[in-house]
Amino acid sequence: MDYFQYLRKEHMPHIWCPGCGHGIVAKSILRALDKMEVEKDNVVVVSGIGCSSRTPGYLDFNTLHTTHGRALPFATGIKLANPELLVIVVSGDGDATAIGGNHFIHSCRRNIDIKLIVFNNNIYGMTGGQFSPTTPTGSRGTTAPYGNIEHSFDVCNMAQAAGASYVGRCLDIDALAMDRIILGAVKHKGFSVVDAWSQCTTYFGRQNKSGSATKMMQQYKELTYNVRLAGKLTDEEKAGKYPIGELYKADLPEFCTEYDKLVERVAVA
């Protein structure tokens, strides 16, 4: 596949540090869109603010770089105005679950046909490594120099509980599995959430003495298990670990479709 057809070469070089996982997730989104064979003009990629949220700037689709945490409201407006568009939101864990947390749960609840890809590096990368709602308890951040005492959100559990109809988790160490999950999310009609783990070597890695990017990726693997093998593992083996793969998929009423039905019903009356 020729990635350059989807990239704005004039915006290169990108800002991501060596070892950052964000480029891996961005490329997986491009492979999914390439497989979908969708016209570039029919795709919109929206983001908030953060290292991950720089992604739309590099992609040659209709793109919108909005304010921190507010990508989903912008995306909701775009999708409602033109439901034919394929709308993807790219977000960091801080962007999606802290400042944008309320938009996250209500987008799930509405089940609007938007695909939210959370580039989850367990930290605020862009602003220098403050802890986020997904920073594991005990891990360090610049605002948790002695270790985080808060409990972290499980992005997937939160998405499913709030009403998202496609939920998946994947790791940047396994790009093929990431491709399957992101493609599944993009193809699904309804609100899709992908918790894509992507290491921040510069802030999370350094503060937590995690070692190289490859070591961090390996640690992700050790913290997870394949959901397809869940039945074969004991509770002890799964304790403290996160399932990866396609975790939930349901055919639920979608917001734009319901909205159209409402307009038709009211117009007739």
Contact footprint for ligand TPP (CB under 6 A) = 49-52, 68, 92-95, 99, 119, 121, 123-127, 132, 200
In the bound state, the residue with its beta carbon closest to ligand SF4 is 125
Is residue 121 a contact residue for ligand SF4 (CB under 6 A)? yes
55 forms part of the interface with ligand SF4 (CB under 6 A): no
202 binds, among ligand TPP, ligand SF4, none (CB under 5 to 8 A by kind): ligand SF4
Q: Which two tokens stand for residue 205?
A: 């890695």
E-strand spans in the chain?
Answer: 43-47, 62-65, 86-92, 114-120, 123-124, 130-131, 166-171, 192-197, 224-226, 242-249
The half-sphere exposure of 19 on its side-chain side, counting CA atoms within 13 A, is 17
Under 8 Å CB-to-CB from 247, ≥6 apart: which residues? 156, 160, 167, 168, 169, 227
Site track 224-243 with ligand SF4 (rule: CB under 6 A), x = hit: --------------------
Tokens matching residue 136 = 């594991």
Site string for ligand SF4, 167-206 (x = CB under 6 A): ---------------------------------xxxx---
Q: How far apart are CA 246 and CA 188, in angstroms?
A: 12
Q: Does residue 103 bind ligand SF4 (CB under 6 A)?
A: no
- What residue ranges bind ligand SF4 (CB under 6 A)? 16-17, 20, 22, 51, 121, 125-126, 200-203
